Structure 1
């Protein structure tokens, strides 16, 4: 197989999937890891893809491997998160059974939630504490506590969530693209998000506009399966009817 043929096949793989690994290339093209890595480097140098640890992503997309801590994320795009959170909180109506995901943007919702005739379920210890202190009926999902995001994860959390049927679910995310969908860095946290989203009739992802075009390692929902609340809609996503601009 000629070099240009390999390059074209690698780019075709990226058209189907937002990211590929060295192992994907060796399996699909029947080449060694050394050759696969060399091809990725050559294509990256030509600007035709972005080289990341263990593989590549499509050009034009950013990739986030690590989950920032709550402290690191709290004051990032604070004004945008506040506007998004205020809009989301108004969607809660009497009788709702609501899931609120762990995260700083969903955490901003707590400042604007006023509906007492509703039940709130969360996997965030900080969210549960604040809601309970303000007199809301809240259920805290049990399981393993993740220190960086203060989220409860693990099989116990998933098993509990599977018994619930939420009228509305509100989720945070680290990245949104058409190919990869709604993504997050942590496998365990993604599993909880995916389960809660599946158990929700209405799914809302709260994301400031900088999350568009970004890919994290794990997909927990398809972009078409959720409603996205954001501060601005990038041109590439203007045709998506399920994206709501809270600033309009």
Structure 2
């Protein structure tokens, strides 16, 4: 049960750590049956706080009053961070929107927390690659002060640049902030590394390649920091060369925050 972040337990109103663990295992089983090729499911990471544990989150708190902000979370998955923001951090329900490309993720999130009747409007199915993504978000939120994307960029290698351009378009009018984590590798290269995991395309950014991409989209100030290495998940990794393959097996979490 050490995979569970104790700060997640209060989101399960009245349940013990053991009960949360059992519910999580059942949801994990159902997700894996749908062949989700995501480390957050395999590693039980979906029962951990992401945004608030990002070491760069304090920069967001210094710049914005979270309780007065409108927050868009892209790739909300089971919705742990969204529920934490609304139920624990004081973000108004009407000022939060969580989107994910997978309806299964959102439905399993409602099953996990048993709160569909109360929070159904907070989480919606939408693909950031859709041409109408920005207009869709604007129809749901009155403004976008903060965009959160935790462990999203590395699973959409072909859409990275379009993704960050859309984020910039949403936050630019409000001097907003983009914060998240992605898969990274602590090397000086200015270009990211491309590889596959179990046949699915992935991208592994360096600090320089991620900073370059964010600034090309329009962000003026970017901060990054490396977090813990992936201790599992090296299986099924293949790259265009053995050298690159060895490099990406040493990948780590790369936290970032970008300011307009």
With the length of structure 2 as denominator, give the TM-score of the two structures.
0.40
With the length of structure 1 as denominator, give the TM-score of the two structures.
0.42
Larger helix percent = 2
